[in-house]
Chains A and B, each alone.
Chain A
Amino acid sequence: MSPPEQRTPPPIAGGATVAEPTYADVNRDVLATLRVPGNLYFTWMCVVGLILTCGILAWTYQIFMGMGAAGKRTPQMWAMYITTFVFWIGIGHAGTLISAVLYLFRARWRTSIYRAAEAMTIFAVLTAGLFPMIHAGRMWFAYFLLPYPNQRLLWPNFKSPLVWDVFAISTYLSISTVFFIVGLVPDIAALRDASTGWRRRVFALLSLGWEGSDRQWRHYRRAYGLFAALATPLVLSVHSVVSWDFAMALVPGWHSTLFAPFFVDGAIFSGFAMVLVLGLPMRHFFNLHAYIRDRHLDAMAKLILVTGLVLTYFYICELFTSWYSGDHIEKASLFWRLTGSYSWALATMYFCNCFAPLILFWKKARTNPVILYVISILVLIGMWFERFNIIVPGLAHDFYPYTWGVYVPTITDTTIIVGSFAWFFILFLGFIKLMPSLSIVEVKETLAAPIKDTRHAGHH
């Protein structure tokens, strides 16, 4: 067993200290998060629900009117939908990083945030999955993407990165969901044992009759490690495949081997920002200060800082490679991105992704929820603009001057994109009241196991 962590309760904001919880405290505190919510929660649900309704109406309008309603004009056929698709896929990556990669590295601070992060992954991928369908226009033909025997003997082109994407993302969604549900099983068993009536019956069914016997744990533990080992290369592959949607094309500014690591790093960067955006209010409203401690915030802030610095390095590489390539078209495309119609978007991206996170070098900022929240929002904005800056200016200014053209958003596509955020938040808000958003089992694992004879404790 690894050495026990520091046992003295570290101070939280306001100078008060929180004692180390016991096993029973964990059950009690997690169950408390599932109590009937108050008015604030329902107000939020209503606001989010209204925005989602607007998004659905806008999509309906787009289906009725055609893709012109979304501002799609040659050459701007990808525009904001694919931008937002890549953005949401990226958000998901932090969840898998926390639940699988940090699990394999035995980073014990992950336990208190991993459940919420994993839920975030699934909801982000579910949101991202909408966009290819919204973008394709006639989404009732979406099943054409799947390989199935048909009378025309047509099969998907397996050499196309777009088909790789279908496979990568559906695998990612399936494996993340399995991982998430497997993690939930022992926790639902704890809910079952603490509840009565119809709730008990529902939880009993969902927990698969989990009892925590040595046989169950034995296979569970082994399976969990294997899931983590499968999810780790998967998460790295998913955003690489998404990046190849661009990098495999010959468009100047896209055709680069840098794209795969560049996208993966950006995904983790934005994902951690989203974890904080969801986790900080959760910690505040559910009063989880004993579990999501300052050192957890500090660890996440450090990861944002590191991935942000790596991203800055990639931006510099991108500029350098473009210039050093000596390729006229490549250089022209870059020059236009820096100075043309979308230079404001590029400036926003550099500010949000390269400069704003630098404040996290300061230790106090890393544990201050307000500063962290602001930085996280900026990072999310910056990362959305990063994808925008790849897709829109890239297509706006390629090889032939006669195909150049700028893209202007319309109310329809903007509403759909804002609606996608509502879809994500409504799923998350629903989740935190229906299921334990803090893992009962994993949090207990990091606590000191109850020992009667403390003289012999820690001999192991």
Chain B
Amino acid sequence: MPATTEILGVFAHVDTTVRALEELKAKGYHDLTVYTPVPVHEIEDVVERDRPVSRVRLFTLLGGLTGLASGWIITMWSSARWDLWVGGKPAYGIPVSPPYVVIMFELMILFGGIATLIGMVTLGRLPKFRTSSSYDPRFTNDRFGVAVHCAAERAASVRDILRAAGAEEVRA
């Protein structure tokens, strides 16, 4: 395996960052990490262009369905455990289910929300205990960063691309 390196370009503006990303993609560099203080549409459009939608929504769906099912099971099962006819109606079964819909709904939201959180944390590879080598504290303030992972011998050309696009600072 050839030696790889990581080149970081620090940008002060959105348009220069976008220019660098377009240029890098056109030249065939796809192993990029982009740091932004806020999600910016222009940058997202370039970065997300050929990526599928985040899988967080799958977590939400599965969590919601689990909640719905657990709500149904707990209400029906516990009513069956205490089989008392109230107001001439059986303790459980479809005709007396409407009150249970509330419990099912609330548990659907609860489990769906917690599953979304789990999805966000695991897919985003959080919590992250070690700072990435290319990270700079300015990226939570007002600077944008583009880190390029490339073969060591291409470092010079990556530096040129970043500088030409308008990076304030380029470092390995």
Contacts and interface: CB of A to CB of B under 8 A. Distances in A.
A449 B60 CA distance: 31
Contacts of A155: 78-79, 81-82
A168 B14 contact: no
A230 B105 contact: no
Interface of A: 1, 22-24, 27, 147, 153-156, 158-159, 163-164, 167-168, 170-171, 174-175, 178-179, 182, 186, 189-190, 192-194, 208-223, 226-227, 230-231, 233-234, 237, 241, 440-441, 444-445, 449-453, 456-457, 460
B126 A210 contact: yes
B68 to A, nearest CB: 13
16 contacts: A153-B82, A155-B79, A158-B100, A158-B103, A159-B100, A168-B102, A168-B106, A192-B140, A210-B126, A211-B135, A212-B36, A218-B124, A219-B123, A234-B109, A452-B15, A452-B16
9 closest pairs, A vs B, by CB?
A209-B128, A23-B142, A155-B78, A193-B137, A223-B120, A208-B127, A222-B54, A452-B13, A190-B140
Contacts of B27: none
A445 B53 contact: no
B114 A27 contact: no
B120 A158 contact: no
A383 B53 CA distance: 44
A158 B92 CA distance: 11
B12 A175 contact: no
Contacts of A167: 102-103, 106-107
A217 B116 contact: no
Nearest to B34: A214
Interface string B102-120: 1101110110111011011
B56 interface: yes
B140 A193 contact: yes
A223 B41 contact: no
Contacts of A209: 126-131
A326 B110 CA distance: 42
B66 interface: no
B89 to A, nearest CB: 10
A115 B129 CA distance: 26
A210 B114 CA distance: 19
Interface string B54-82: 10110010001000000000110011011
A241 B102 contact: yes
A249 to B, nearest CB: 14
A449 B142 contact: no
Interface residues of B, number: 70
Interface of B: 12-16, 32-44, 47-48, 51, 53-54, 56-57, 60, 64, 74-75, 78-79, 81-82, 86, 96, 99-100, 102-103, 105-107, 109-110, 112-114, 116-117, 119-121, 123-132, 135, 137-142, 166
Contact of B78 (A147, A213, A226, A241): A147
A416 B32 CA distance: 58
A166 B48 CA distance: 42
Contacts of B102: 164, 167-168, 237, 241
B109 A158 contact: no
Nearest to B87: A159
Contacts of A212: 35-37, 139-140
B56 A219 contact: yes
Contact of B15 (A219, A222, A456): A456
A171 B63 CA distance: 14
A227 B15 contact: no
Contact of B106 (A171, A218, A220): A171
Q: Chain B CB within 10 Å — which of A147, A227, A441, A450 has the most? A: A450
Given A147-B78, A158-B79, A445-B38, A189 B140 contact: yes
B75 A193 contact: no
A387 to B, nearest CB: 21
A151 to B, nearest CB: 13
Nearest to A169: B106
Contacts of A230: 60, 64, 109, 112-113, 116
Given A155-B81, A223-B54, 15 more contacts: A23-B141, A155-B78, A158-B100, A167-B103, A190-B141, A192-B140, A208-B121, A209-B131, A215-B33, A219-B124, A220-B120, A222-B57, A230-B112, A241-B102, A452-B16
